[in-house]
Amino acid sequence: MGVLLQDPDSDRLYLRFRRDWESLLVEEDEDDLDVFRALAEDLERKAAEVGGERLFEYLQSTSSATLQITDGEPVIAEDFQRAVDRFYRQHVESSVLKFRTHLPRYSLQVAAGPFLENREVGEIDLVETPEDLRVDKDMFVAQIAGRSMEPLIPDGSLCVFRRGVQGSREGRLVLVENLETSGNNRYTVERYRSQKVQEAQSQAMSGPCAHRLESLNPDYPSWDLDPKEEKYRILAEFVGVLD
């Protein structure tokens, strides 16, 4: 049904539950459906009131044939929210509801730094997203390779992107494609900057725009995009990290 993760230092409880209750319960169980839908919120509220440890004790002492909690086991976690999401994907097999609870994951690896060569890009699986992420058909998941966007985007993390960057790109984290690939696809994600170039013999910034991709990690350089504009295409905007 879900995963509960306790931070032993703060006694805070992190939890994530499945959302496909409709596929598990028959129409006659509509009352139960409402209960299960509210379960995560109810447990989160109780944990805030009494703490994670006391909630675990309560669940273990009152478990029934309908709702049971397994024995706890120690795990290593630096970021508890990302950890509970990771454990959820490892242990909970929920029904796939594409573009409702799941997004397609593509085989491309996105370089956090210089462009990265990829083989043919295709959909390889579907990844369940957090409940608070409102998904749509323009979203997809890809993996990050590199450390230039840390700490926001860890090396190896799965990230959500949205196709079609609307409005100004200034300051946004964007997925860029290098079109001069000789048959291979090359992608990178960086912060996009665009600034007017100062005209000669003038103090006004009124010349053509200079485009730059910036790294968030100060240990990695930022770099200018080739002025040959048709060489690059902005594919998508970074939405968030899944894992």
Options 3.30.70.20, 3.30.1360.70, 3.20.20.140, 2.10.109.10; CATH for 102-241 is 2.10.109.10
Listed in order, the ranges of the chain carrying CATH 2.10.109.10 are 102-241
Task: Tell me what pLDDT residue 96 has.
Answer: 85
Tens-of-pLDDT digits for all 243 residues of the chain?
A: 899 999 999 999 999 998 888 777 665 567 777 888 888 889 999 999 999 999 988 888 876 666 788 888 899 888 898 889 889 988 888 888 888 889 998 877 665 554 445 555 677 889 888 888 899 999 999 888 888 888 888 888 899 999 887 777 788 888 887 777 544 446 778 888 876 544 444 454 445 566 778 888 888 888 777 666 677 778 889 999 987
Which are the contacts of 99, defined by CB distance < 8 A and separation ≥ 6?
135, 136, 137, 139
CA 231 to chain centre: 28
CA pair distance 226, 232, nearest whole angstrom: 8
In this structure, what token pair is assigned to residue 189? Answer: 């994600």
The pair phi, psi for residue 21, each rounded to 5°, is -60, -35
SS3 label, residue 237: strand
The β-bridge partners of 128 are 102
Q: Which of 152, 132, 133, 144 is nearest to 105 (CA)?
A: 144
Angle made by CA atoms 178, 125, 190, in degrees to the nearest 5: 30
pTM for this predicted structure? 0.69
8-state DSSP, 35: H
Determine the residue type at 78.
Answer: E
Query: Would you state the pLDDT for residue 198?
Result: 43
Residue 104 backbone phi and psi in degrees, to 5: -70, 140
